[in-house]
Amino acid sequence: MLLYYTPDLSQTTAVLSTEESHHCVKVLRKKAGDTIHITDGKGTLCKARIVRADRESCGVEVIDSKTDYGKRDFHLHIAIAPTKNNTRFEWFLEKATEIGIDEISPIICVNSERETINRERIEKLLIGAMKQSERTYLPTLNEPIELNVALSNLSTDGNTNNRFIASYEDGNDELKNALQNQTVLLY
């Protein structure tokens, strides 16, 4: 199934973005009357018919719609420090989206070499990974926050589910001390 993304999905009609329209009409040569699948990134999967095959604003009519498509009964939130090599960070975000991460929080650590992210580029990457893996939920991308703020949010978020922190350093006393009063399992 080839999936298109449009965040503004109404019950009966939708207009694809310029980029999505170009891909649909120019690259894949879809024409009026062809059927495609679209999502809003919020769990809605629609089967739609192209009514206006325009390269810049392809209009579609919704034929069938399913809400909460692929919804799970749990929430996966990952916090990760952006790596010095941006390609590795982007690869991780792509794979995390493909396996179904719901929320991503970039964190800034004491030794972080990258403290900013290109939000527009990452959002495009997340949309592409969501479509590629045929998922209907786009992960929430939070603003970068410092590690101590992220850890303090653990105790105030009201969530009592399991929390895990992966650390490759043996005997990471700084992290262990920061986690002493938290409900977190260190691996």
The CATH number that applies at residue 120 is 3.40.1280.10
| Res. 4 pLDDT band, cuts 50 70 90 | very high
Q: Which of the listed residues 45, 66, 87 is the one where a domain comes to its end?
A: 66
> Do 108 and 58 fall within a single domain?
no
Q: What's at 30, amino acid-wise?
A: K
Tens digits of per-residue pLDDT, 108-136? Answer: 887 788 878 899 999 999 999 999 999 99
pLDDT the model gives residue 114? 82
> Do 39 and 82 fall within a single domain?
no
> Do 96 and 174 fall within a single domain?
yes
Q: What's at 154, amino acid-wise?
A: L
pLDDT the model gives residue 23? 92
What's the rounded Cα separation, in Å, for the pair 71 and 165? 25
Beta strands in the chain (DSSP E): 3-5, 13-15, 35-39, 45-52, 59-66, 77-80, 103-108, 140-141, 145-146, 164-165, 185-186
Q: Is 71 inside any structural domain?
A: no
Tens digits of per-residue pLDDT, 135-161? Answer: 999 999 999 988 878 777 765 555 556
Q: Is the pTM of this model over 0.85?
A: no
Print the domain residue range for 12: 3-66
For the chain, the domain total comes to 2
| Res. 187 pLDDT band, cuts 50 70 90 | very low
Which residues, including other chains, have CB under 8 Å from residue 168's CB and lie 6 or more apart? none
Q: Is 137 inside any structural domain?
A: yes
pLDDT the model gives residue 186? 40
Q: Is 11 inside any structural domain?
A: yes
At residue 185, does pLDDT exceed 60?
no
| Percentage, residues of the chain above pLDDT 90 | 54
3-state secondary structure of 104: strand
pLDDT the model gives residue 152? 75
> Do 82 and 127 fall within a single domain?
yes
Pairing of strands 45-52, 35-39: antiparallel
Tens digits of per-residue pLDDT, 76-91? Answer: 888 888 888 889 999 9
